[in-house]
Chain A
C-alpha cells in the first residue's frame, strides 16, 4: 500500500519536494527516516516540511507517506511522562498505548462555550489580587529574556488548584527542561503533569507541533475526563520565530517584523483552545511571550495581546530588589467575572485603591527625581508603595486571597486616613483596620 518514492526534486533548508500522487494535505511522511509534513501540493509535486531540517538528505532518500495528519495517542498513561514534539517519550519510559487522535482538531462551537466563572488561585498577590485568573482564560506573561518567567510559571502551575497540568516547552534550554523535570518530581506532583518538550538542541521547526500536541492532550482530559486543565506554553516567541522560518522557506511575503501574514490566525488557533466546556471541564492557557527590550509593539506580543485575555508583566522593582507583577501594565480581562463575587466583597475596591495609591507614588517619584519638593502625602505614598511592592506585588508572596486583602487594609491603615484611601464608606467601615482618623 505505502508506495516508496526515491526521487526528490528540490531540497531547501526546511523543505523537500518530489513528485507523488494520492497524497493528502497536512499528511505526514518519512524522508530518509525523518518526519515531515505536506505543506503544499502543486499538481503532482508535493512539498514537505521536514521537521528536523534537511541537512544530509540525499536526492534519492526514501520517502513514504503515512496517510494521516500528526496524531497523539491519548490516555491516562500520558500522566507523569515527558514527550518530544512528535509525542515520543524522551524520559526512557515505554511508548503510550492509547487512542490515536489527530492534533490541531476542530474549534469549539462558540454557542456551546460557557462563560468562564471559576477562579484559579495561585497564591501570588500580583496575580490573585490584581489580575485574577479564571478557568478557561488564556493569558501570557510578557517578560524580558532575563526575567525568571519559567520559574514564575512553574510556581503558578504548582500552586494553582487544577486537576491536570500540561507543559508545552518550545525551545527550552536543556537546563530549563531539567529544572521543570526536577521541580515536578521533587514536588511529588509528577502524576498530574504531562510534558511535551522541544529543547534548543532540537531543530526549531519541530516546535511547531508542540502547542497542538499539548492541547490535544488537554482536550482529552478536559472533554473526556471533565477535568480542569492548565496548559503552560513557553516560549511562544520562539514558536512564532519558527513560523517565520517556515514561511520564509516557502517564499511567502513577510508582513510586519518579518512575521508571516497569518501570524494572528496561527496564534489565535492555539490560544482559542482555552475554553470552559459545558460539562465542567476547562482548558486554561498560561503562556510566556518573551519581549525584546520590553517592546510590546513588536508583531508577536502585539498580535498576542489582541488574542489573549490580558497579560501579566514581570518587572524588577529595584527599590525592594524583587521581581514583581507590574500592576499598571498587567491586566486580566476576565477578573470582573470573579472578583467580589467568588472572592470577598471588598476585593474590587481594595484592588483599585491600592493601584491608585501606587500610581500616586509613581508621580511622587517623578517629582522627586525632578527635584521638586515632596509633600507629606507624597512621602507616605512612597513608603506605602515600597511595602505594597514587597509584601504583595513580589512574586515570592504566597497568601490566600483573604489574607492579601487583609494585608492591603493593614497597609492602608498604616499610612493613610480612610478618606485618602477613598473606598466606598460601607466597605471601609467594615474592613478598616485600626483608627479611622
Chain B
C-alpha cells in the first residue's frame, strides 16, 4: 500500500456517514474521520460511485460536512499475539484498562498488547523447515498456557525457515524468525500478527465433524443435551430466566483451555460482576485463577452500536487464533440478539428493504456464517483445536418465533430453551429439557464416543430418561384435568418418577460448591441409579402416599448431589435412598 485514499464527509445521519472519496477504497475498509484532534474510526459498508457509506464506531456529535477522512488500507483487524488473556477489551479490541479516566473518551484507541513486555521464547521450528500459515514456529508461556507463535495467517503458500532466534526473552515486536517464500523473498516474523475480524481463519488442514464431548459440568446439558467440542449451541430465554447465571456457570466449569466471553450489548453491571468475580474464582482443573485463561470483550449496551456488531467478530477471531495453537476454546456471546439489532439499526439507516420485524434480509445468512466459524479442526501438524460456541438470544417478548431465534435455530446444533415456568417455580437451571435438543445425540460419532468413554448404551439410557419426562408431563396434564383422585394411581407414580429425574438430574444448584459442577463419571453414576429407580414397580396403598414418598426420596438423592462424590456421606445417602425404594417395591413381592 502506498498513498492512502482520502475523502471528505458529505452527509451525516447519526452514525452513518457518507464520504466523497478521492481514490480507491474497498468494502469494509477502515477509515478515520479527523474531527479536530479526535480521530473517529469508521468502516466502509457500501460504495456508490464516488460516495462511500461508512458506519462510525463512535458518536458523530458535532461532525460537519467537509471534514477530512483518511482511509487506512485495511479492514477491521485485531492484533494477535501473547498477552490477549486476562484482558478486558472493548468491541474493537481496545484495552479498556489502559484508558484514562472514568468515562470513555471519543476517539481514544489503546494498544491491545504490550509492546515492551518480554516473553520467554522457545523455538519449535528449525532452519530449513518447510512451513505454511498457522504452523508453529515457537512457544511462549502465557500465564500457564503454551502460546504458540505461528506463521502469520496472512502468509500464502509455502515458506522455508531461513533463520529463527534461539531460546531467550523477546518482545512481541522483535523478529523471531525470517521466512523465505517460493520466490526467494525473505519475510520477518514477529510474535504479533493482524487479521481482519470478518474473515474466517482457514489455516488448518480440515474440519471434521465434532465427535468428542465437551464437558460443562451442567447435568441438563451434559447428560440430556450434550454439546461436543467444536459444537454450537444457543440459549434463548426471556428476561429473568437465569440466562446470565447459566452463562457464568458454563464459563466457570466448561472443560476448555481458553474462555472468551463477548458481552455484546448487555448490562454493564453484569460485566462488572465478571470483572470482579472471575479473578477470584479458582479454576477447578489448574488450581489457578480462572482469569488467567479468560478474555473478555465488553461492549455494553450503552457503547456505540457499530462497535457492538464488531465485538462478536473480534471475539471469534481471537478464538480462532487460540484454536490454531491446538487449544480448546470456549466462546460465549451474550447476546447475539443485540448484535442482530445493531445490524438492523444500520440496515435501517441505509434504507435497505427490510425483512421480518425490520431486520435485514440477510440476517439468517449472517448468523449462519458466524456460527460456521466455530468447530473442531485438524491442524497441519495433525493436532486438533476447537472452538465451541454458545450464544444467547434475547427473544423479543419471549416469543421464540421471532427472526433472530429462528435464524439461530437453523445455524446452531444445540438448543437450550430457558423456560419462564421453570424459572418461576425456581427449577434452575431453567432449561426445559423437552423443548431443548442436541442434534449431537444422534451423531454416530457421539454414540461411538459415549460407548467408549461413558458406557455402553449411554444414549439409550438418556432417551429412556427423556421418555420418562415426556410421560410425566402427559400424566401431569391428565391429573390437572381429571383431578387427583379420578386417575389411576399409576399416573401419580409416573408423574413422580419424572419429578425424580427433574429434581435430581435436571436441577442443579449453581451456588453450591459441589453441586455446581458434576463430572461425567458422576453424571453416569447418578443417571444409572435414578433410572434403576424409575424402572422399579412401586406399590402404594393410596395416591396420597405417592407424593410424600417421592418428596422424601428426592430429598435424599439431593443430599447425595450435595456430597463429595464417592465419599462416605455420598454412599450413606445412596444406601438410605435405596432402602426407601425397597420398602415400597418389596411389598408387592
Contact = CB atoms under 8 A, between A and B. Distances in A.
Contacts of B273: 115
Contacts of A273: 302
Given A25-B62, A110-B271, A297-B397, A255 B298 contact: no
Nearest to A281: B102
Nearest to B268: A110
Given A106-B104, A109-B96, A272 B61 contact: no
B272 A115 contact: yes
Contacts of A298: 397
Contact of B397 (A25, A69, A110, A302): A302
B103 A264 contact: no
Interface string B260-271: 000001011101
B306 to A, nearest CB: 11
A223 interface: yes
Contacts of A255: 344, 357-359
B483 interface: yes
B103 A111 contact: no
Contacts of A115: 269, 272-273, 276
A33 interface: no
B344 A25 contact: no
Contact of A252 (B65, B341, B348): B348
Nearest to A331: B240
| Residue of A116, A305, A331 most packed against chain B (CB within 10 A) | A305
Contacts of B185: none
B358 A24 contact: no
A43 interface: yes
Contact of A264 (B65, B301, B303): B301
B103 A109 contact: yes
Interface in B236-287: 239-240, 265, 267-269, 271-273, 275-276
A297 B268 contact: no
A151 interface: no
A44 B8 CA distance: 13
Contacts of A306: 239, 394
B13 interface: yes
A358 to B, nearest CB: 13
A256 interface: yes
A264 B357 CA distance: 14
B483 A278 contact: no
A340 interface: no
A302 B300 contact: no
B168 interface: no
B102 A268 contact: no
B63 interface: yes
A240 B471 CA distance: 46
A27 B60 CA distance: 11
Interface residues of A, number: 61
B11 interface: yes
A377 interface: no
A26 interface: yes
Interface string A242-256: 000000000011111
A136 interface: yes
Nearest to A251: B351
B575 interface: no
A275 B483 CA distance: 51
A421 to B, nearest CB: 16
A372 B483 contact: yes
B530 interface: no
B65 A44 contact: yes
A34 interface: no
B354 interface: yes
A114 B272 CA distance: 7
A209 B437 CA distance: 47
A384 interface: no
Contacts of B399: 297
Nearest to B343: A261
Interface string B86-101: 0010000000110101
Greatest chain B CB density within 10 A among A22, A115, A328, A372 is at A115
A261 B343 CA distance: 10
B103 A108 contact: yes
Interface of A is mostly: loop
Interface in A85-115: 102, 104-115
Interface residues of B, number: 57
A136 B269 contact: yes
Nearest to B425: A359
Given A24-B62, A107-B300, A110-B275, A265 B103 contact: no
A351 interface: no
B13 A40 contact: yes
Interface string A370-403: 0010000000000000000000000000000000
Contacts of A23: 64-65
Contact of B267 (A21, A262, A272): A272
Contact of B272 (A25, A26, A110): A110
A160 interface: no
Given A23-B64, A40-B13, A265 B305 contact: yes
B345 A261 contact: yes
B300 A272 contact: yes
Given A111-B97, A298-B397, A27 B62 contact: yes
A107 B348 contact: no
B148 interface: no
A331 B99 CA distance: 34
Contacts of B272: 110, 113-115
A365 interface: no
Given A111-B97, A262-B345, A253 B358 contact: yes
A343 B432 CA distance: 34
A192 interface: no
Contact of B396 (A108, A302, A334): A302
Interface string A264-285: 1100110011010110000000
B551 to A, nearest CB: 11
B267 A307 contact: yes
Nearest to A38: B12
Interface in B292-337: 298, 300-303, 305
Contacts of B303: 107
Given A106-B106, A328-B424, A26 B344 contact: no
B104 A109 contact: yes
A23 B348 CA distance: 24
Nearest to A356: B426
B358 A112 contact: no
B10 interface: yes
A110 B338 CA distance: 18
A43 B62 CA distance: 15
A256 B356 CA distance: 9
Given A106-B104, A252-B348, A272 B239 contact: no
B457 interface: no
A299 interface: yes
B451 interface: no
Of the candidates A104, A109, A261, A299, the one having the most CB atoms from chain B within 10 angstroms of its own CB is A109
A43 B104 contact: no
A366 to B, nearest CB: 10
B572 interface: no
B398 interface: yes
B354 A334 contact: no
13 contacts: A21-B65, A25-B12, A25-B60, A109-B103, A110-B88, A110-B96, A111-B96, A264-B341, A268-B265, A277-B102, A303-B396, A309-B269, A310-B240
Given A265-B341, A303-B396, 20 more contacts: A40-B13, A41-B13, A107-B302, A108-B102, A108-B104, A110-B268, A113-B268, A114-B272, A115-B272, A116-B269, A256-B396, A265-B305, A275-B268, A297-B397, A302-B398, A305-B239, A306-B239, A307-B301, A310-B240, A331-B240
Interface of B: 10-14, 59-66, 88, 96-97, 99, 101-106, 239-240, 265, 267-269, 271-273, 275-276, 298, 300-303, 305, 338, 341-342, 344-345, 348, 354, 357-359, 394, 396-399, 424, 483
3 closest A-B pairs by CB: A297-B397, A268-B301, A272-B302
